[in-house]
Amino acid sequence: MKTVPFAFDLNEPDFIPSEYDNHIQRRLSAMRGQYLDKEAYEARLAQGDDLLYEVYELRRPTVPGELLHGISIVHPGKVGDEYHMTKGHFHEVLETGEIYHCLKGKGFMVMETPEGEWAVEPLYPGRVLCVLPRWAHRSVNASLAEDLVTFFVYPGDAGHDYGTIEAQGFRKLVVEKNGQPEIVDNPRWSPPEAA
């Protein structure tokens, strides 16, 4: 881990950083229960445990004042009518935000708050998205031909809460209808249990 200011290159066309400390690979098996069409999911998994997305992290201390950052790459494809997507998460420190800068591809960021607000914002090269504190977020690649690549930055002490989304899902899904992406209600979404 660097102890002095540092720089790195984002090498086109894939934008894999010239330096990174951690490479996370999320395969189809890690997304069980996240896609609406369970039969399509199981049929696809039976054909192979495909790589859906990957993250290249540049590690920093997980403390206030630090900025964690890296590259997220969501590969093209679908499970049923749903496009490939990330697991999605809240931050463990709910009052923290995150910045995304889209470098390649086209897609959407699906977001929601514990209070019931939701938003879906398009992603395309040059687009910068500010995910505000309290908003869970998931990247969706709406292309069947190219990767969706984003650069992200968030506070060092934010942490990740994947469990809430695994349990309740997101309120909205991005599906392909008539060859185009469409935002629809998730019929399986359930509100979090009252404390």
Domain ranges of the chain: 11-185
d(C-alpha 11, C-alpha 60), whole Å = 21
* Distance between CA atoms of residues 93 and 181, nearest Å: 32
HEC per residue, 2-41: CCCCCCCCEECCCCEECCCCEEEEEEHHHHCCCCCCHHHH
- Classify residue 63 as exposed, middle or buried by CB count within 10 Å of its CB (0-12, 13-18, 19+): exposed
Q: What's the CA gap between 171 and 129, in Å, rounded?
A: 20
Distance CA 4, CA 119 (A): 38
pLDDT tens digits along 111-167: 999 998 999 999 999 999 999 999 999 999 999 999 999 999 999 999 999 999 998
Using an 8 Å Cβ cutoff, are 34 and 166 in contact? yes
Q: Let me know the angle formed at the C-alpha of 151 by 80 and 92, rounded to the nearest 5 degrees.
A: 80
What is the pLDDT at residue 194? 46
Mean of pLDDT over the chain: 95
**Would you identify the CATH topology of the domain 11-185?**
Jelly Rolls (2.60.120)
Q: Report residue 195's pLDDT band, with 50, 70 and 90 as the boundaries.
A: very low
Q: How far apart are CA 184 and CA 187, in angstroms?
A: 9
pLDDT in tens, 73-122: 999 999 999 999 999 999 999 999 999 999 999 999 999 999 989 999 99
pTM of this structure: 0.94
Residue 34 CB partners (closer than 8 Å, separation 6+) = 85, 87, 165, 166, 169
